[in-house]
Structure 1
Amino acid sequence: GLFFAALAAQERSGPAGPGGAAAAMLMPNPCYHVYPGAAAAAGAEPILVPATAASGHLPDYTALPEEVLARTTLAYYCSPANPQGAAADLPALAALIALARKYGFTVAFDECYAEIYNDAPPPGALQAAAATGGGLDNVVVFHSLSKRSSAPGLRCGFAVGDPARIAELEVMLRTGGAGVPFPTLAAGTRLWDDDAHAAANRARYRENFAMAARVLGNRFGFRIPDGGFFLWLDVGDGEAAARTLWCEAGIKVMPGAYMGRSGPTGDNPGERYIRIALVYDAPLIEAALNRLVEVL
């Protein structure tokens, strides 16, 4: 769905900008790999906006130049964020929706981690849309069973939002996507109808983060994120640390640079980091983190 959102947005808008300038699609840097891939497939220019500690690990699209916003067809916004786990507040979501309506672009809100949170549920785009008025105009929200229910293999989720944009997305999926098989839909329905296992997953992740806090302390800029199940650790050189951890400790992690891209100055905002998924049983994670502390 997130991939086809780019194709649908481009079909809606066509070439945009003065003199036929390339359409722009906004996305955080670092981000989920599908976003830049979708922009490339749509023939749009990916505009990667830093999502660093300085910005609260979320992108600020409102600060972009008029020239960029005028040719924007789609903005991706992930909250809680992958990989950092930061969640936007309601005013930030409302400001982005207002920006989209001013310039006429679609916001694809990636809320696939929305039901994995530490304390309180994060605000959602539908709440923000209701608070700002204007119905669901320009808003499409995506959810998935992959994270909520630990069922990535099902490839089952849903999109909700602006009826016109949902209809355009449906056309794209019917003509270029793969339909979800009926057995998968049946299994997915059972999972969506059951909130108990999602609550159990949240409790398990809370325990894993509490254990990580005991092992890591204040090392590597450790913090418990607002949502999601990743550690985003500042190790100085993420790729070098990933090699060291694999060779010396038998631990596989994601170098943060692989989720980011170099900006105009050559800096990749993910370069210093590694991403670690706390998705295993607590004893295994605890042993791995203790080995990490020993070798880094």
Structure 2
Amino acid sequence: MNPRLDQLHPYPFQKLRELLAGTEPNPELAAINLSIGEPKHPTPGFIRDALVGGLDGLANYPITQGSDALRAAIAGWAARRYGVTLDPASEVLPVNGSREALFAFAQAAVDSTRHGRRTVVSPNPFYQIYEGATLLAGARPFFLNTLPENGFTMDWSRVPEDLWDSISLVYVCSPGNPTGKVMTLDEWRTLFALADRHGFVIAADECYSEIYFDEAHPPLGALTASHQLGRGCRNLVVFNSLSKRSNVPGLRSGMVAGDAEVLKKFLLYRTYHGSAMSPAVQAASIAAWNDEAHVLDNRRQYAAKFAAVIPLLRDVLSFDAPDAAFYLWARVPGGDDAAFARGLYAQQHVTVLPGSFLARDAAGANPGKGFVRIALVDTLDACVEAAERIAAFVTEAA
């Protein structure tokens, strides 16, 4: 077996199961699970209908590049959302969810033939796929802590100057998981300048981009920023997904867009990887990318939950309202995030994710320690009840 598999860490939810094993939750309270970012809003009926209507396509092998209609739908959405014109033939690829693509991209992007080009940078805390993809590509991760004192931004000045020319790939996540932080144009300008100077590729994970709270100010996307700065898509690849946007995590459908030369190589890799999207899933995806009404309704539901939950938790937990996404990244009393999560589960039957499970020790600290991630993915009533239970738990422990 590949010895690099031994470098992989247990997934955060495996660690959570181990943390809670043997703990009996309060039997008088129904379970409320806010630990995983799995949307609970109903899948729109028209997407389900399109999936069923596409079943005749199961008689054909799909091509890895996806249908012309699907790539045109994705390019059309990008034009409406980001104000950019993408060539559907060379600057867009459908993928089986952003998770699969974020992992696969590192396997194609890391230059394992040159010992000096084997560093991958990622935020810390982070989506664990970044680390696993890095390790299995034979690269070494370099973590940039995102902390309250720097506004949860990636501080590029902390990268040693002699490390830059060893970097093949930089993962960024905006809106951020778990902080909800959105990168500004100035932050993108700095990162693009570094990529142009040192020749690395940027993998921009934007799977939370459509969960935001101000319709007049959607989160700035990497494609928009790059085009505003006059650099096209050079060394930039953006990943997005229908899972959060359209409440279809089980559909496993997303997209990759950006630098045509990079995507040409990535398509070659994917042709061998066997990652073509089912024709039925393509049909459902076309319907989803072409409709915005259901996404607007989705945002309204999340906005209502944040408006109801934040006042209930403001006096018992320390947090900033996120720029976007559906998480609260909250500092817990006492600083022991694992003990907090275990106690909350036992006493109030509410599950949250310890922040330290989402991070690694870097620069002398685990930046997730003392935080929990609360995913407001359940119904409004369930989220409100969970917030009331969390407040009761903290108050009783004080």
Q: TM-score with structure 1 length normalisation? A: 0.94
Counterpart Cα distance in 1 of 2:169 and 2:315 = 38
Equivalent residue, structure 2, for 1:208: 305
Cα pair 1:94 1:131 within 8 Å, conserved: no
* Structure 2, unaligned runs of 5 or more: 1-100
Could you tell me which of 276, 295, 307 is aligned with 1:198?
295
Number of residues paired by the alignment? 290
Counterpart Cα distance in 2 of 1:206 and 1:26 = 32
- The percent identity for this pair of structures is 38
1:201 shift after superposition: 0.8
1:98 shift after superposition: 1.5
1:91 shift after superposition: 1.2
Letter in 2 for 1:3: F
Letter in 2 for 1:245: L
Cα pair 1:22 1:45 within 8 Å, conserved: no
Equivalent residue, structure 1, for 2:163: 68
Counterpart Cα distance in 1 of 2:203 and 2:227 = 16
1:74 shift after superposition: 0.2
Letter in 1 for 2:105: A
1:115 shift after superposition: 0.9
Equivalent residue, structure 2, for 1:80: 175
Alignment of 1:118-137 (within 5 A): 118-119=213-214, 120-137=217-234
Letter in 2 for 1:281: T
DSSP-derived class of the 2:325 partner: coil
Deviation string for 1:203-238 (max 9, x for gaps)? 111110011122112432133210100111101221
Deviates more, 1:150-159 or 1:125-134: 125-134
Equivalent residue, structure 2, for 1:144: 241
* Structure 1, unaligned runs of 5 or more: none
1:14 shift after superposition: 3.4
Equivalent residue, structure 2, for 1:52: 147
Cα pair 1:80 1:111 within 8 Å, conserved: yes
Equivalent residue, structure 1, for 2:320: 223
Equivalent residue, structure 1, for 2:388: 290
Deviates more, 1:85-94 or 1:212-221: 212-221
Equivalent residue, structure 2, for 1:4: 104
C-alpha distance 279-190 of structure 1, shift in aligned 2 (>3 A): same
Q: Report the RMSD for the aligned CA atoms in angstroms.
A: 1.4
Instruction: Say whether 1:274 aligns with 2:369.
Output: no
Counterpart Cα distance in 2 of 1:21 and 1:122 = 35
1:62 shift after superposition: 4.6
Equivalent residue, structure 2, for 1:261: 360
Counterpart Cα distance in 2 of 1:174 and 1:59 = 34
Equivalent residue, structure 2, for 1:31: 126
Letter in 2 for 1:6: A
Letter in 2 for 1:100: A
Counterpart Cα distance in 2 of 1:87 and 1:232 = 14
Cα pair 2:117 2:168 within 8 Å, conserved: no
Cα pair 2:330 2:372 within 8 Å, conserved: yes
Cα pair 2:117 2:165 within 8 Å, conserved: no
1:295 shift after superposition: 1.2
Counterpart Cα distance in 2 of 1:61 and 1:155 = 33
Equivalent residue, structure 1, for 2:68: none
Instruction: Say whether 1:114 aligns with 2:209.
Output: yes
Counterpart Cα distance in 2 of 1:61 and 1:212 = 34
Deviation string for 1:119-174 (max 9, x for gaps)? 22111111111122232110001110111112111110111100011112112222
Q: TM-score with structure 2 length normalisation? A: 0.71
Letter in 2 for 1:288: A
Equivalent residue, structure 2, for 1:174: 271
Deviates more, 1:210-219 or 1:26-35: 210-219
Deviation string for 1:177-205 (max 9, x for gaps)? 43211111111111111111111111111
Q: Tell which has more relative contact order, 1 or 2 (C-alpha 8 A, sep 6+).
A: 2
Deviates more, 1:236-245 or 1:100-109: 236-245
